[in-house]
Copies of this chain bind each other. A is one copy, B any other.
Amino acid sequence: MPEPRLHFVTSNENKRRELETVLGEPLGQESFDLPELQTSVLEDITRHKLRAAFDHLQKPVVVEDTSLYFSAWNELPGPLVKWFLQNLGPDGMVQALEPFRDFRANAVCCLGYTEDGETLYLFRGEVPGRIVPPCGSRQFGWDPIFQPEGFAKTFGEMSGEEKAALSMRARAARQFREFLSGENTSKNEP
C-alpha cells in the first residue's frame, strides 16, 4: 500500500474516520503529544500545533482543534472543552450550565494544514446548536449533549454518515477538500 499523502496528528480514531469520510482518501494517523497553548483563540492553538507537528514529522501534516462555546459562558469552554469533559463529564457540563438558563452553544472546528511548515492553511467549520441532557452514544466527547440546530437529536444519536454530513469537522474538512482539489488542478496545469 502506498504511503498516504496526508498525515493527521490525532490520537482519536473517530476524528480520523470523520476526516477520511469527507476527504475520500486514507490518512496516515500519527499520534504523538503536541503542546497546546493555553488561550481562548482556537486559531492560535491550531497554528501552534501545526508548527510543532511539522517540526516533528517534516512532511505534509494536518492537525485540528475543536471548541465548544456556551452562549451563557462567553468564550468557555471553548478550546478548553477537553478539560471540562475530562473533569466534569458531559453530565457535569450540563449541570454547571443549568443555572444560566441559556443552552445555546456553538461548535467550531479548526483544521490546519501545512506542506512546508512555513505556509499554514486554516479551515474553519461551525455548527450552531444547543446543550441538552446526555442522549445517545457516549463514545465521542461531548457528542451526547450537543444538538445541532434544526435537528431533534444529538450528535451522539446520529450515525457516522449523518454526522459527517453536518458536523463542524466535516464543514472544515469540505473546505480543506476544495482547497486540495484546487491545489491539484493548478499543479496539473501545463
Residues of A within 8 A of B (CB): 35-40, 45, 73-76, 78-80, 83-84, 86-88, 92, 95-100
Contacts and interface: CB of A to CB of B under 8 A. Distances in A.
The count of identical subunits is: 2
Contacts of A86: 40, 74-75
Contacts of A78: 83
A87 B99 CA distance: 16
Given A37-B38, A80-B38, A80-B80, A87 B74 contact: yes
A97 B100 CA distance: 11
Contact of A97 (B38, B40, B75, B96): B96
Contacts of A79: 38
B76 A84 contact: yes
A34 to B, nearest CB: 10
A40 B83 contact: yes
Given A37-B37, A78-B83, A95-B100, 4 more contacts: A36-B38, A74-B87, A80-B80, A95-B99
A39 B38 CA distance: 8
A119 B63 CA distance: 34
A73 B92 contact: yes
- Give 4 nearest A-B pairs by CB, closest first: A36-B38, A74-B87, A96-B96, A38-B38
A61 to B, nearest CB: 20
A10 to B, nearest CB: 16
Given A37-B36, A96-B97, A100-B95, A83 B76 contact: yes
A63 to B, nearest CB: 14
A81 to B, nearest CB: 11
A92 B95 CA distance: 13
A60 to B, nearest CB: 25
14 contacts: A36-B37, A36-B38, A36-B39, A38-B80, A74-B86, A74-B88, A75-B86, A76-B84, A76-B87, A78-B83, A80-B80, A96-B96, A96-B97, A98-B99
